[in-house]
Structure 1
């Protein structure tokens, strides 16, 4: 992590696309909406670019062009810079570094059969370091682990916390300066890891707080994408394991509130007021934290009834909440 600024990106048109002739490398700055670099690469050659030659937002995409009748024409489609890295523990992540960043935003993925990073574009213009952590360490079809671990082990949770701490320390930040964020499965992870790491903020959208009820709602349905996740986490498909899965976050909160000098994260939650996640997960969680004396919880209810609509509303809420945090203007101040 300390050497991230000295990282080298190597572009090899022949190795990547079997292009044998001269190539023009075209680099587009997504944030500033301009072409950042156009440079010729000799036949079978390569181009090396140091990470520090890019602006810190690292939101770039590139393509290759070759000449056709004396004019440069696109040979490939745009693709984003290959920023994914992997820790020694096997965690995959993308990290965008900003010098003297006042905060670190950690973003967790939603559930998808093709795990990928969420909200990179949504947060691109915030001058803050960002850490996006992938979740594809489980079994098919989703490979989801909810950033916890196999067979009740929490080994992945430990690795995730280790990575966040490494980046936090690299940024010379306090724990209160870490913002955990995500929607749906990512919302669960944002809540869990904000408490586990004793971090400053959590911005969750439509989280599934009680995993036993959500993942184990129909254990006999082998075609459900949720059943394999439940089995991965608990080690079985038995009804008795639902309670264990339901208690993961409540048990964590119970441990944390009894720690000496513990400060709860400030929690922002968005959910549709008429969608099932509100009554089944968010409202019971909201009442639970209030009963434990945690008052820095802010709830926004959207005017919609389908969990799918979260993808439309959460990015707006995420940007709004981060702006409030950065400007130190929390709701109710």
Structure 2
């Protein structure tokens, strides 16, 4: 979906670790005391795995809970990992705790999503009895779909990809539609015959909704729809209209309509306690990083910015300036970490903000590093020793930069003469490390890559503690081209 204007709603982020699987979420309070909760599930192309999180829901008047679908670097349909459905129970637990914190009932909840998110909306709505379900172009045979199109999701969800496991996941949603006791739910299923998935993934299952008292089938037969992703875009005004009607308690059907019920000064104590307890930043139990160098207000040369410290309990530290990501550095087993800038800093005063994160992406409070860059200033006791010239960045030979690879398993290799290891990352997220032997290195993850574009940075680490600047490789993993004309033009020929 196209980028929207910047958000006008305040967004809270958190990780609920109450269940067996930690669940990351975002939350935004309702406008004007509205008494409703919209739960949003992500599709496969959602930025950062949060669906509809780009501002398009800013005018929805209810409380909004976005739930992230990213586990071990892949998607799960919010259902299972290696056929263990405790993930589903953990997701349901987050929704229930937020609902109760807002003093709402299941009838005050709308579950909403498109594609993969539409399947999740139907599943959670029908299994847990939420009042309203809005599902755009869902898949019903989930196992077959991930087997054919999203191999990384298939491996995560099934563990061992077998015919039996495919059949089990194919039956989850159809069996639930036939057996669910919640047949009074207000269901809005949006689709189109122009959707390439319609004949296999939607049409055979519509008849299963016979006996549901308010099943609405929105069938958009528009020649302007050219594929799966376009169905939701073409129906966006309808979707937003349905959401706000449901949030206001207006169910689009013939019959008695009860509207209103706002609470101008609602009791927010419970939801605020939930947000506090599950906040992604846990300063009370996760200490902020300790900065050991440079000292506060040090004067540094433009090319001499290096930071060291300790972050017990973290797996990495993340460094930011003026709200923009700068770099990340791994935390060693003893809690130590170090970072050497690979660029010159401009003259003047700089404030870098550093936080630590653990394996569940729980974050510490922030620590500040303040220094001044003055290339003409003489060295003082507050100036750290000038760092040695940065060693050369590693060279990535496989895969070829800007290439298209079949996936889901992608091996990276290259050379870094003189280094002892290379560290790989995507943005601030560390992927892993590989030893360098005779100048050569190879790294292959145990997990499969999600379909789509990826840019990996590789840095070389040396025995004397120096770390090189990044070598970089970009590639596209199979599974995204058919859904993305831009990638098809660039990589598909």
TM range (shorter): 0.5 to 0.7
The residue number in structure 2 matching 1:296 is: 214
**SS of residue paired to 1:181:** strand
* Aligned-partner Cα distance in 1 for 2:213–2:241: 20
CA contact (8 A) 2:26 2:67 kept: yes
Q: Aligned match of 1:159 in 82, 90, 95? A: 90
Q: CA deviation at 1:247?
A: 0.4
Q: CA deviation at 1:125?
A: 1.7
Q: Map of 1:201-280 to 2, 5 A cutoff?
A: 201-217=132-148, 226-257=150-181, 262-280=182-200
Structure index of larger Rg:
2
Q: Is the aligned partner of 1:93 residue 2:11?
A: no
**SS of residue paired to 2:26:** strand
Paired residues, number:
242
Change (3 A) 1:129 1:146: same
* Aligned-partner Cα distance in 2 for 1:161–1:280: 28
Q: Is the aligned partner of 1:330 residue 2:252?
A: yes
TM-score normalized by structure 2? 0.46
Q: Map of 1:1-333 to 2, 5 A cutoff?
A: 30-31=7-8, 57-58=9-10, 83-88=12-17, 89=19, 90-98=22-30, 100-112=33-45, 115-120=48-53, 121-139=55-73, 143-217=74-148, 226-257=150-181, 262-290=182-210, 293-302=211-220, 303=222, 304-325=225-246, 326-333=248-255
Which 4+ stretches in 1 moved above 4 angstroms?
Answer: none
CA contact (8 A) 1:211 1:246 kept: yes
* Aligned-partner Cα distance in 1 for 2:251–2:132: 13
Q: Give unpaired runs (5+ residues) of structure 1.
A: 1-27, 32-56, 59-80, 218-223
Any idea what the Cα deviations from partners look like across 1:251-293, whole Å, max 9, x if unmatched? 3334433xxxx44421111112221332222222221121xx2
CA contact (8 A) 1:122 1:315 kept: no
CA contact (8 A) 2:178 2:209 kept: no
**SS of residue paired to 2:191:** strand
Q: CA deviation at 1:229?
A: 1.3
CA contact (8 A) 2:61 2:244 kept: no
* Aligned-partner Cα distance in 2 for 1:264–1:227: 36
Change (3 A) 1:207 1:29: closer
Q: CA deviation at 1:116?
A: 3.0
Q: CA deviation at 1:300?
A: 1.2
CA contact (8 A) 2:42 2:50 kept: yes
Any idea what the Cα deviations from partners look like across 1:281-313, whole Å, max 9, x if unmatched? 2222221121xx213111112212401213522
Structure whose residues are more often helix by fraction: 1
Q: Give unpaired runs (5+ residues) of structure 2.
A: 256-493
CA contact (8 A) 1:119 1:315 kept: no
* Aligned-partner Cα distance in 2 for 1:198–1:159: 16
CA contact (8 A) 2:50 2:67 kept: yes
Change (3 A) 1:29 1:147: closer
Change (3 A) 1:216 1:106: same
Cα RMSD after superposing both structures: 2.3
* Aligned-partner Cα distance in 1 for 2:132–2:207: 18
